[in-house]
A and B are shown apart, each in its own frame.
Chain A
């Protein structure tokens, strides 16, 4: 009996943690069928007219080859990141329902649907022609397949290129190839500009990325987040503490964080829903006053949503990091 109670408690904690630390590798190489006129040159001239000819399309998603017969008119998204992708590529008007966590963009048709514990019947009620999710749980893919509804699983990515590949795949799946290409090109350009403007003065500064407090979970340089911060040449204090078994998400002891003396602390858990670890709280943690980041006011509260997704708002996360780097001690 007690084990069941403990498991229930642990499961909620684990689910909350997994929501921000799931790192399943994605194989989001996108391949259109040979019949699809997917060259960006022709499509760029007339963004939507080529869509009819682009179907049927077979996409290589993480759940295998997915064939979409015609331009999907009713899309259900169970992933906050994919919802942002869908609206960014111009497929927003085709989206009929998004899950409860999809809080961006504002106009998205939010429902009580869950991507964590999907209810097949509840999804079917929307009569979707395409379902997009970030994980295949609760028999989602097999259940939808029985109903003849294609499902695209777009899992958390491990590289920046993975972000671009998912946006392009969602563009192909929805008949918005050209706009997806444009979104990706713009993201690449914004990120390159931000990184080059930041200069190299702060290269070598150390940082600590906080996913959660009590216990202190962080990310290593090998993770998606680590690669983004790595664009600025910062050094990650979690790298030395990571073991292969933690999958790039080590649990750090408080003593280790304090003695590693990070020069910048990024808080991905500062909003109330994610732990509420505000800058004021971090400054007052016993023993933390000696950390350079705390002394120099370099504890940076991030937009938690953007920092835990892998979608079109990535340039904003890069800009938040750039602003922190700009004020950081030089050299």
Chain B
């Protein structure tokens, strides 16, 4: 019952966030006319709107794809974070760990510095590939460094390997960046994260990855709960710990990579949202996972609305917004975790 209530709250939050996102923006569109234009899009509803053709283009081609993309990215990041936290039995793991963020940053930097002529559409592909490559390298390093296999008992080793690989990739990225002073601004604005170039094309291009990875993570909620009591017990209950870990890590990496590809690096969503979900509905992953997906979506829509309005008519990188909210929240998570242990 508590789970259903929490899911209802999260869904209401997401709908409210998306409405705010659709109605608020630098262009100051008339709210009534905007509402009419939006309702007009619903099948069998026909409403005249007083929005000019330019205003309509702003609403449907600039603002709405951005709101939808923010929802997808936020949901994926939070879900990936929750998935990792289940696998590693540690609530402080983020979606960018295991070399995912560093790999994406390196991929995007290489593309910008060495293949600048390939155009902006090539950067998401490079970030996507870099993010997955970062996870693969971290994973193989972790396996090589651990006497046990990572899939049985080496979760700590895997996390540490991810930190080492991440630092190394960031160092390489810095060296690459030194090769081209004129690209520094482009690279850093990508690293800080932004949804300002959102298009329906981007929404469609990450949709298949988002759907597949989300489905895989969501169906493993029960197994993650079982893993929490220990591998021996899990095996006796008929779960294959190695298989579950492998699948959830792979799906989380895919979810984070598709989010990072279109948004750049956005931190903290993967930590804060699952934690809030735990507070709302308890520690079971059967509720933490869906709550993270919906709550993360709503949170990032609001964060992006702040990013595009607070400094209007300029823009604030969304990574700055999530960090400003996220850093204090992270301290709160630490504090709450301490309390839970004592």
Contact = CB atoms under 8 A, between A and B. Distances in A.
Interface of A: 1, 3-5, 7-8, 10-11, 14-15, 17-19, 21-24, 100, 111-114, 116-125, 127, 136-139, 142-143, 146-148, 245-247, 249
A138 B185 contact: no
A117 B185 contact: no
Contacts of B317: 11, 117
A5 B188 CA distance: 13
Interface string B114-134: 000000100000000000000
B189 A11 contact: yes
B54 interface: yes
Contacts of B293: none
A234 to B, nearest CB: 23
B57 interface: yes
Contacts of A137: 185-186, 189
Interface string B303-323: 000001001111111011001
Nearest to A141: B120
Contacts of B199: 139, 142, 146
B327 interface: yes
Contacts of B178: 245
A119 B54 contact: no
Contact of B313 (A15, A111, A139, A146): A111
Nearest to B327: A1
5 interchain residue pairs of minimum CB distance? A139-B197, A122-B313, A114-B314, A122-B26, A18-B185
Contacts of B313: 111-114, 119, 122-123, 125
Given A8-B323, A124-B27, A127-B54, A119 B181 contact: no
Most buried by B among A10, A119, A138, A246: A119
B172 interface: no
13 contacts: A4-B319, A4-B323, A7-B191, A7-B192, A8-B192, A18-B185, A21-B182, A24-B182, A117-B315, A119-B315, A137-B186, A138-B189, A138-B196
A136 B170 CA distance: 26
Interface stretch (B58-66, B78-86, B219-227, B230-238): B58-66
A43 to B, nearest CB: 32
Contacts of A125: 26-28, 313
A10 B188 contact: yes
Contacts of A249: 181-182
Contact of B197 (A17, A127, A142, A147): A142
Interface in B78-116: none
A11 B314 contact: no
Nearest to A145: B61
A1 B267 contact: yes
A138 B312 CA distance: 14
Contact of B179 (A8, A22, A121, A245): A245
B1 to A, nearest CB: 36
Contacts of A19: 185
B62 A120 contact: yes
Given A5-B323, A125-B26, A139-B198, 20 more contacts: A1-B330, A4-B265, A11-B317, A15-B188, A22-B182, A112-B312, A117-B196, A117-B317, A120-B62, A121-B26, A121-B62, A122-B27, A123-B313, A124-B58, A138-B194, A138-B197, A143-B196, A143-B197, A147-B57, A247-B182
B185 A122 contact: no
Interface in B261-290: 265, 267-268
B307 to A, nearest CB: 10
A124 B188 contact: no
Contacts of A14: 184-185, 188
